[in-house]
Amino acid sequence: MKTYAMTREQIQAYAESLRMEERSESTVRKYASALTALYGRLPEDKSVTKERLLAWKAELSAKNAASTVNVMISAVNGFFAFLSWDALRVKQVKTQRRIYRDTDRELTKAEYMRLLNAARDKGNPRLYYLMQTLGSTGIRVSELRYVTVEALRTGSATVNCKGKQRVILIPKKLRKKLLAYCGERNIVSGPAFVTRNGKPLNRSNVWKELQRLCEYAHVKRRKVFPHNFRHLFAVTFYRMEKDIAKLADFLGHASINTTRIYIMESGAEHERQMEKLGLVV
């Protein structure tokens, strides 16, 4: 069977091709990390065969969730397509679609309010308003840089993400609060949320601040990460409006199937619904 020799230069070239396709930097890093991990598992001559890939897949599947394994498989399959090594492509791990969320990862509205109160009590207005911005608009943390003073004045922000452009409406009450916040900090233009050096906050900055808040707010750390505020927005919006198409537009999803992931109910809610059936006597 034909073998192929893998090099670090090929990985770098593939990463650059992803950037040229305007893939997000987080995706580029994730794919490059998966390929580097595979590279490290190869023998000294760095030869790749289908048998070695299948063994690698089995090893990953034994230690990781199927979703994690499939991300890594997507990375290597894309890499093989880039190099025209089509004979090496492997199938993803088949999974049954989950119908409910993990309760241990679900951020409730009550917990959200505790986090807000904690940020306010600890004298951190930036984090206080940042959480409200994520929670009330459903934007990704990477899109915070588009919430500028100019956008606050007009009431909407134009976001460019993953090669797509969409307009995000900013609630009037939030605009008023954020403009006052910017005025107090002499932020007259550009992003509303910046570091001490005036640079836009990134995912790492936000995550670290949120984690420091958990103990004070009595909220489990596993529930508190930037993307969970987007999930909270989606669940809250859907419970009120029951309009998945409109929600998909708000979230910037090309497929409603992606939106369905955001509005899955918790296992506890499913259990309550089953109890209501009255089929156990």
The CATH number of the domain holding residue 76 is 1.10.150.130
Given a cut of 80, whether residue 8 has pLDDT beyond it is yes
Residue type at 232 in one-letter notation:
L
- Residues 173-197: what's their mean pLDDT? 95
Range(s) of the domain holding residue 238: 103-271
Q: Name the region of 257 (left: φ>0; alpha: ψ -120 to 50; beta: rest).
A: alpha
36 falls within a domain: yes
265 and 144 in a single domain? The answer is: yes
Query: Which of 122, 252, 140 has the alpha carbon at shortest distance from 130?
Result: 140
Q: Residue 208: pLDDT band by 50, 70, 90 thresholds?
A: very high
132 and 30 in a single domain? The answer is: no
71 and 112 in a single domain? The answer is: no
170 and 214 in a single domain? The answer is: yes
The CATH number of the domain holding residue 237 is 1.10.443.10
Given a cut of 70, whether residue 96 has pLDDT beyond it is no
246 falls within a domain: yes
127 and 56 in a single domain? The answer is: no
pLDDT in tens, 107-136: 999 999 999 999 999 999 999 999 999 999
144 falls within a domain: yes
**CB-CB contact of 48 with 39 (8 Å):** no
- Residues 10-24: what's their mean pLDDT? 91
277 falls within a domain: no
79 and 218 in a single domain? The answer is: no
Is this model's pTM higher than 0.75 or not?
no
Axis crossing angle, helix 125-137 with helix 109-121, rounded to the nearest 10? 160
45 falls within a domain: yes
96 falls within a domain: no
Split into its structural domains, the chain has a count of: 2
Q: Which of 17-21, 125-129, 275-279 has the highest mean pLDDT?
A: 125-129
Q: At which of 88, 115, 149 does a domain end?
A: 88
Q: Residue 269: pLDDT band by 50, 70, 90 thresholds?
A: low
The span from the CA of 258 to the CA of 146, in Å, is 23
157 falls within a domain: yes
DSSP β-bridge partners for residue 164: 161
58 falls within a domain: yes
First CA to last CA across the chain, in angstroms? 62
141 and 254 in a single domain? The answer is: yes
47 and 115 in a single domain? The answer is: no
